[in-house]
Amino acid sequence: MKAQPPPHTRDAPSADGLSSPVSRFRRAEDPEWHWLENRDDPNVGAFLEAANRECRAWMMPLDGLVERLYHGHLARRELAVHGLRTALDHYTYWSETAADADYPVWWRHPNDREQEAIPFLDLHARAEQQRFLELGDMALSPDEQWLAWTEDISGDERYTLYIKHLPCGEPIALLDDIGSELSWAEDNRTLLFTRFDATQRPDSIWRLPLILEAGGTPRADEPTCMLQEADPEFWVGLGKTRSREWLVLDCASKDTSECYLVPARDPGVAPCCFRPREKGVEYGVEHRPGHFYVLHNRGAPHFRLDRVDEADPGADWQPLVANRENVTLEGVDAFAWGLILTERDHREAQVHVRVIELDPHHALTRDERLPLPESPCSLMLGDVPHFASRRLRLREESFVMPVRWLEHDLDSGERRVVKTQTIHGDLQPNDLSSQRIWATAHDGERIPVSVVMRADLAGHPLPTLLYGYGAYGEVLDPWFSVARLELLSRGVAFAVAHVRGGGDRGEPWYLAGKMEHKENSFRDFLAARNALVDQASATGSALQPTAPVRAACWWVPASTLPPKHSAPLFWTSPSSMSCAPWKIRTCL
């Protein structure tokens, strides 16, 4: 059974008498629908509610299947979620989400005194007081006595800044209509935040002096603008180095970036530009006492790493890790003992974590890649807030391995699993099988295609959902999905086409599917379909286009193979989440 318009609406105007703009596909030449851009017009809300009613009528034939899939999915998940614990200087922090709750409660206890645990922010209770609630950012003061966070209660991504004394102070609203990002200076009395322009582009970074007294009501002086970005192609962001010595103010466009530095213990100092922007050059700055480390692509399409003395950042940069033909250097994290590099191998389409240790004279004492649990997989550095820590927290997952967090001891090499995603139900990770095949594109390029299925069905022709994205350099590293188990349990295979335009094989892979090369993304997707059919992972009589979430998808049903042909693709923008190591990690 499939979705279809009920008999009484098939020939009638949609949305309670208003014909739909969707059938025209373009609004620029359709002034009849420009009124939808005015969010204050009461007819906008009424139209959306009517459109939702119409959608529900269309989807009514699938209600039974939707309920079975939904409850089957819930039965496989751990509904009560306990977040990973992170110890800072004085307290250990974590979140707990009840089985029937949509928002977590945040807890902490003094380090080594677990019995003194106490909740300090109940987001579930705050959400019950609103029709909508989205948490923007959470940031602890360096002395861990104050918590600042941003909330959006309207859905327009304009946030209110709150602050409270920990653990039991009352939340106080300080500012409205600001961006989501926050960062504390190391003086324990200054917050940095962002603001938007009229187009909701984060265009400025502000300093907010605070008057904080335990037991008193927190107050704020007038905020001061630290950095204003006039170029409409650039947006701003903020952070702090793991060394806690520097505040970093970023300006970036799609292909160009610029950094400003402010001493974290003296936030009133004017921001200093680390290197003026240069069209097409992206760079980022990390810090260890005595040196800055610069990850950049100036004359290095796959990125390189240089260093420069902290006392003279305007001097010539000294090379540390050169540009390499088959490896993209994606990220750098600095520690007291050295550096962690995140690298992507172009041949394998696989990410690696590399450890570089340096002695006090900056001589190399260790250079090795950490082992992979399997390949292909996802591996990344987790939250390690302590600059001197020699115990790394790693996050691993694959198409057949649920997310797990490990603690890796750099001295002994020992690994300890600290948390694993729990899976319930009859289909367990050991019952799954994954493989990577390589499709040949129209121009001879090899396209990686990842496939996951039930192990007992491996080698048999299966109906297959083919998924792809291929834009903005987004990477589709292997990820475990509980929802996907509902497909796999029914004998469906799931495949991912790592097409050009994404970042799966590095920067050249992204550029080869961008702008005038965009056609490659679509043709790579066709090549992936053909390779699946040819290798008997799937056979097909027709490709049924679907658009379940933000990517191009095809169903490849199991039956007799016809001549290969194309079909519509569906594309929307992906989402991502990142968390800074010196902030409470709301993504755990």
- Write the DSSP string, 155-189: SSS-EEEEEEETTTPPPEEEEEEE-S-EEE-TTSS
Confidence at residue 6, expressed as pLDDT on a 0 to 100 scale: 53
What pairing do the DSSP bridges indicate for beta strands 464-468 and 493-497?
Answer: parallel
Q: How many residues does the chain have?
A: 588
Strand-pairing partners, residue 368, are: 355
Q: Burial level of 373, CB count in 10 A (0-12/13-18/19+)?
A: middle
Asked if residues 473 and 575 have their Cβ atoms less than 8 Å apart, the reply is no
Hey, which residues does 183 pair with through a beta bridge?
192
Which one, of 552, 521, 545, lies nearest residue 442 by Cα?
521
What angle is formed at CA 163 by the lines to CA 90 and CA 133, rounded to 5 degrees?
110
Which residue in this structure is represented by tokens 């003094």? 110
**Spatial distance between the Cα atoms of 309 and 564, rounded to a whole number of angstroms:** 59
Q: Token pair of 222, please?
A: 């007038």
Closest residue by Cα to residue 548 from 480, 491, 467: 467
Rounded to whole angstroms, how far apart are CA atoms 570 and 581? 35
Q: Is 438 left (phi over 0), alpha (psi -120 to 50) or beta?
A: beta
Say if residues 407 and 391 touch (Cβ distance below 8 Å).
Answer: yes
Using only the alpha carbons of the chain, give its radius of gyration.
Answer: 26
Low-confidence residues of the chain: pLDDT under 70: 1-31, 536-588
> Which DSSP letter does residue 502 get?
B
Paired tokens of 143: 């002395």
Say if CB 574 and CB 469 are below 8 A apart.
yes
Q: H or E stretch including 525? A: helix 519-534
Burial 131-140 (b: 16+ CB within 10 A, else e): eebbbbbbbb
In contact, 521 and 471? CB cutoff 8 Å = yes
Q: Given this model, what pLDDT does residue 467 score?
A: 95
* Cβ pair 166, 146 in contact under 8 A: yes
d(CA 381, CA 398): 15
DSSP structural state of residue 88: -
User: What domains appear along the chain, each with residue ranges and CATH number?
Assistant: 1-12+29-76 (no CATH), 80-324 (2.130.10.120), 429-556 (3.40.50.1820)
User: What gap in Å lies between CA 322 and CA 301, rounded to an integer?
Assistant: 11
CA distance 54 to 38: 22
Q: Which residues contact 552 (CB under 8 A, 6 or more apart)?
A: 467, 468, 469, 470, 497, 525, 569, 570, 571
Q: What is the pLDDT of residue 31?
A: 67
Buried residues in 38-60 as b, exposed as e (16+ CB within 10 A): eeeeeeeeebeebbeebeeebee
pLDDT for 205-226, tens place per residue?
Answer: 999 999 988 777 889 999 999 9
As a whole number of angstroms, the distance between CA 271 and CA 260 comes to 6
Alpha-carbon gap, residue 553 to 549, rounded angstroms: 9
Q: Which residues contact 485 (CB under 8 A, 6 or more apart)?
A: 73, 76, 423, 425, 427
Q: What angle do CA 81, 84, 89 make, to 5 degrees?
A: 140
pLDDT tens-digit series, residues 304-361: 999 999 999 999 999 999 999 999 999 999 999 999 999 999 999 999 999 999 999 8
Give the integer Cα–Cα distance in Å for 149 and 161.
6
Are 245 and 287 within 8 A, CB to CB? yes
**Closest among 531, 525, 576 to 553, alpha carbons compared:** 525
Distances in Å between the alpha carbon of 383 and those of 86, 330, 579, 585?
8, 17, 9, 8
The DSSP call for residue 457 is G
405/418 Cα distance (integer angstroms): 6
